[in-house]
Amino acid sequence: MSAELKAVCRAAAGEVIETAWGRLVWTASGQVGNAMTMSLGRATIFAGKENPRHRHPNCDEILHLVAGRLEHTQGEHRCVLEPGDTVCIPKGVWHQARALGGCDAEIVICFDSPDRLTEVDSSILGNLP
């Protein structure tokens, strides 16, 4: 198999993280073993659910909504994203997303680090399911 083919990662072979609010599938990252400078994945936030308020202290994030509707809070700013919308989240900024309506939100996410760190807001830990 050539070096080019080894770099291909099918979604089923990626790093899959299941949560109460959704699913993350990482197809390029240091953990997956095929990227040295970035991470790329797909997130699903289940209808009516939200991920915990969090931040990434070591990297910027780009979030692109593929399907569904999403309310995104970044710092004190709140907006509704429609399919095709993109939001850029600077390193260290607290943010959170909630799927609106009766369908899941499908999101492509990219980080400028192969080993992204995530800090969850400790003030809400008691409220997590």
pLDDT of residue 46: 98
For residue 5, is pLDDT > 50? no
Helix (H) or strand (E) holding 77: strand 77-81
Q: How confident is the model at residue 128 (pLDDT cuts 50, 70, 90)?
A: very low
pLDDT of residue 126: 47
* Domains annotated on the chain, with CATH: 13-113 (2.60.120.10)
pLDDT of residue 125: 52
Query: How would you class 94 by CB atoms within 10 Å of its CB: exposed for 0-12, middle for 13-18, buried for 19 or more?
Result: middle
For residue 10, is pLDDT > 90? no
Per-residue model confidence as pLDDT tens digits over 52-95: 999 999 999 999 999 999 999 998 999 999 999 999 999 999 99
Mean pLDDT of the chain: 88
Pairing of strands 69-74, 95-100: antiparallel
Query: How would you class 84 by CB atoms within 10 Å of its CB: exposed for 0-12, middle for 13-18, buried for 19 or more?
Result: exposed
For residue 33, is pLDDT > 50? yes
- Distance CA(104)–CA(56), nearest Å, equals 24
- Distance CA(99)–CA(60), nearest Å, equals 22
Closest CA to 88 of 70, 76, 72: 72
Least confident of 3-17, 66-80, 89-103: 3-17
Amino acid at 21: W
